[in-house]
Structure 1
Amino acid sequence: MNSKVKQLLVLTLVLSFFTTSMLGFSKSASAAPSLDVKADSAILVDGETGKILFQKNEDKMLPPASMSKMMTEYLLLEAIKKDKISWDQKTRISEYAHKISQDRGLSNVPLRIDEQYNVRELYQAMAIYSANGATIALAEMVAGSEAEFVKKMNAKAKELGMKDYHFVNATGLNNKDLKGFDETGGPSEENMMSARSVAILAFRLINDYPEVLKTTSIPKAVFRDGTDDKTNMPNWNWMLPTLVYGYEGVDGLKTGSTDLAGFSFTGTIKRNNTRLISVVMKTNSYEARFEETKKLFDFGFANFEKADILPANHQIKGDKTIPVVKGKEKEVKVATKEPLSLIIKRGEQENYKPEFVVDKKKLNEDGKLTAPLKKGEVVGHVNIQYKGKGEDYGYLLNNDTKGKTEVVTKESVEKANWFVLGLRGVGGFFAGIWSGTVDMVKGLF
């Protein structure tokens, strides 16, 4: 083989290797991250803004089982905030709550009809140990009966922006397991929610009442210590850092399982300045719900990051001013009121572009603001639009203010006095005549 042939062969091999390597690199660099979650439905969201990071069958209605208790927690904490009940307030136990609490085939702490229990101990039994009798007792305290409480559950779900839901009891049990006390729906009915609705509920719970995490993060507690009814209450959330499937940063939120629901879990985790909320519904085992949740958390932290998108007092290119009528000035400068930080896809900050959305209610029919205007007056907001190639799932609550920042006037604009307005009117009149005359003259030639 002569030298020229050898050189050509070497060159061909090098080019082949280089081309193959570059193609492989290009493919791996542009490939969208994939995630195989073995659950009937699942969702992962940013806990601060509700930005959806992953979803699978997110609107499919499924039984949430004891994840329903998050709504009971919400209504209880709301009642406490409004001073309708207090943490130290005591209650007697109804026959209904008593009978449910004696069923140790369900998650329960034993309750006695001849005893009184305070709100705090019943709440801890519900939030940590998912105690069903305790949950019923709390529902009866808040609303007088479970039937009335269920009305509140459905009304609150609508108020919170949930769309796919149907509550028939406070616990999430099958109605057939309520010992004939089912007051809403038939014996075969069960609460139903979509993963999206569960995520909305969890999102609103931890943002409106963040104190719930102080309880849901407790790995184990004791009910009625020092009495014959002493009950150890290990937290069913095995992803808490010290438990079996411990995952650093997990501090909630609620498990759920029935024969119909399978094994479900709403998890939440905070690492550094990022909080995530996950929901998996209908996995095939107690352990699987935590394994699938781990996949979601791993995916979230590997592929997304918190980034500062806009500073305060930032002016959007092309929308730095808005025209003004009846003012001493004919336009006003506008800028963002607060800085905006968002969770974004890693390495893609340049693909997130600001979009100014003016409040049309503030404008006249010509698209102008009307003086007088105060400095700092809200005239719209900035949305961040994703311009990359991957899919963008939007937000849990698209009409919410999360993921936006207000746009305000940078200075005040006083209303012009009658004389100035009059001169402008006269000027406009003669300008119109002059313009018309010029047009007429042009038409002659």
Structure 2
Amino acid sequence: MFKKIVIQLTLIISLVFGTLGQVPALAADTIDAKAGLVVDAQSGQILFDQASDKVLPIGSMTKLLTVYMTLKAVKQGKINWDTQVPVTNLAYELTKDTELTNVPLKKDGHYTVRDLYHAALIQSANSAAMLLGDAFAGSQTAAVDQMRQQLKSWGIKHAEIVNTSGLNNSYLDGQIYPGSKENDENKLSAQDMAIVAQHLLKAFPNVLKTTKKSSLPFASGTSTATTLKTWNFMLPGEAAADAKLPVDGLKTGTTELAGACFTGTVKKHGRRIISVVMHANQGDTDEKARFTETAKMMNQVYERQNYHQVAKGSLPGKRDQLAVKYGTQRRVKVGLAKAVGVWLPKAQTGPKLNYHLYANASLAAPVKAGTKVGYAKLKLPDTVHYLPGQQPKKTTIKTQAAVTKLSGFDLFKAQLSSLF
């Protein structure tokens, strides 16, 4: 057996030469809200943080979780887009309350999962969200149970979920989750909301095809047909749109306790971010307040920070190839199995990549493409933080091509030469 050799290297990845400074990784300005957060949608890196671990009422941002559970049930084949959902008495009575956002529903009528999904996401219809809960779980109580369990599976520990819509329990005519109180409502932290949105976007990216729309028809061809109108005024063409930010989602939330909230998302310069504003302080008098604070955070991130990346299949420095014994090629290229990267302030150079290459003296042909030959991990400054449980892990280094073995006289010569 050949002796195992481990090669350890530390290289600086940067577009310019320099060293790691002590520039804070987060934008310094605050927003006029109880809490705010921006994260990278893929990695979970925190890019702006203001009291993001404080548990607060979330209002209709709840519907992102309700929609996730609905899409999960569709994927599992438990329901489908054309499943007809019966209107319950509670949903019917609730939809007549002009204080609340809703869509018209026919008493004892039936509506498709598709229509209810659109109504919950675009118009924030509370009755529609409740009926979705009935569709994916069979009852409101069972729906809340499933939503709570889903949050636990994502590592969210301090969630308070009591209904599927985000309304205060006082609107539900006493039909509230067992053990909850008459004035309870759903609560999460900004970090928790970002995790919900992150899972929704990763598992069901097509949700953006709906959330980016300012309007859609509802229940076409029925007596309750109407046009859904978005509450996301940051969408292009809406009142709070920012020309620098092509926002395409996600969901507002408003109750007396929650104030004006918004979980948003935008993709720019190749990176998608997720933002959360909890209780914009001017929300009672300014309908744009939550969006103004969102734009402030989003613009700070893109203006003040850069994303540094080492591409999939690449490896910096001179060790991007390994020798191959008895191969038709003497060396094979190696590189990262997936891209790695990090956001840093623009005044700061790129991070270090610690990587280890290992082989039994050398690789021996035949060598398959994708053979594991080492691992790498970014060495990050102390100012870089991530959502709970999302700290970067080691990335595998693999061969980028196959190498066949020599044969016949060529193999004999290679074996002979290795003896001397």
Query: TM-score, normalized by length of structure 1?
Result: 0.74
State the match for 1:173 in structure 2.
167
Give the residue type in structure 2 aligned to 1:106.
L
2:268 and 2:140 map into 1 onto residues whose CA distance is 38
Q: 1:378 to 1:398 in 2, by over 3 A?
A: farther
* Aligned residue among 132, 142, 166 for 1:148: 142
- Check 1:373–1:162 CA distance in 2 against 1; reply closer, same or farther (3 A cut): farther
Q: Could you tell me which of 393, 401, 407 is aligned with 2:385? A: 393
| Contact 1:99/1:179 (8 A) holds in 2 | no
Residue 397 of structure 2 is matched in structure 1 by 407
Does residue 216 of the first structure (1) align with residue 186 of the second (2)? no
Could you tell me which residue of structure 2 aligns to residue 42 of structure 1? 36
Corresponding residue for residue 4 of structure 1:
none
Structure with bigger gyration radius: 1
User: Aligned AA for 1:89?
Assistant: T
Between the aligned partners of 2:321 and 2:391, the Cα distance in structure 1 is: 25
Name the Cα RMSD after superposition.
Answer: 3.5
Could you tell me how far 1:82 is from its partner in structure 2? Answer: 1.3
Q: Distance in 1 between matches of 2:227 and 2:220?
A: 9
Aligned to 1:26: none
Q: CA deviation at 1:92?
A: 1.3
What is the match of residue 100 of structure 1? 94
Summarize the Cα distance change of 1:294–1:334 in structure 2 as closer, same or farther, 3 Å threshold.
Answer: same
Q: Which residue matches 1:353?
A: 352
| One-letter amino acid matched to 1:345 | L
**Corresponding residue for 2:15?**
none
- Residues in 2 aligned to 1:178 and 1:123: alpha-carbon distance in whole angstroms: 20
Aligned residue identity for 1:168: V
Q: 1:47 offset after TM fit, Å?
A: 1.7
Secondary structure in 2 matching 1:182 = coil
2:313 maps to what in 1?
Answer: 312
Distance 2:218 2:399 in 1: 57
Matches within 5 A, 1:159-238: 159-184=153-178, 185-225=180-220, 227-238=222-233
Contact between 2:53 and 2:190, CA under 8 Å: does it hold in 1?
yes
Within 1, Cα distance between the matches of 2:300 and 2:36? 13
d(CA) in 1 for partners of 2:197, 2:308: 24
Distance 1:113 1:344, change over 3 A: same
User: 1:241-290 CA deviation, whole Å, 9 max, x = no partner?
Assistant: 11000124100000001111111100101124121110010112032111
Q: In 2, Cα distance between the equivalents of 1:270 and 1:295?
A: 15
Amino acid at match of 1:356: Y
Note if 1:53 corresponds to 2:47: yes
C-alpha distance 204-394 of structure 1, shift in aligned 2 (>3 A): same
Of stretches 337-346 and 168-177 in structure 1, the one that deviates more from structure 2 is 337-346
Q: How many residues align?
A: 370
CA distance in 1, matches of 2:376, 2:348: 16
Matching residue's letter, 2:385 = Y
Correspondence for 1:73:
67
Shift of 1:195: 0.5
CA distance in 2, matches of 1:380, 1:161: 30
Distance of 1:226 and 1:310 partners within structure 2: 51
Q: Kindly indicate whether residue 280 of structure 2 is the aligned counterpart of residue 283 of structure 1.
A: yes
| 1:337 equivalenced with 2:332 (yes/no) | no
Distance in 2 (CA, whole Å) between partners of 1:31 and 1:59 is 19
Deviations 1:191-223 (A, max 9, x none): 110100100110111111011111111112232
1:111 aligns to 2:111 (yes or no): no
Structure 1 residues 96 and 378: alpha-carbon distance in aligned structure 2, compared to 1, 3 A threshold:
farther
Partner-residue secondary structure (3-state), 2:349:
helix
Shift in Å at residue 141 of structure 1? 0.9
Q: Distance in 2 between matches of 1:87 and 1:270?
A: 28
SS at match of 1:40: strand
Question: Shift in Å at residue 147 of structure 1?
Answer: 0.5
Alignment correspondent of 2:416:
none
Q: Distance in 1 between matches of 2:271 and 2:198?
A: 14
Q: AA paired with 2:230? A: N
Of structures 1 and 2, the one scoring higher in RCO (CA 8 A, sep 6+) is 2
Aligned partners of 2:235 and 2:247 also within 8 Å: yes
Instruction: Give the match for residue 10 of structure 1.
Output: none
TM-superposed CA distance for 1:161, in Å, is 3.0
- The equivalent residue for 2:237 is 242
Percent identity reads 34
Mind listing any 5+ residue stretches in structure 1 that lack a counterpart? 1-28, 322-326, 364-371, 415-445
For 2:250 and 2:388, the matched residues in 1 are separated by 18
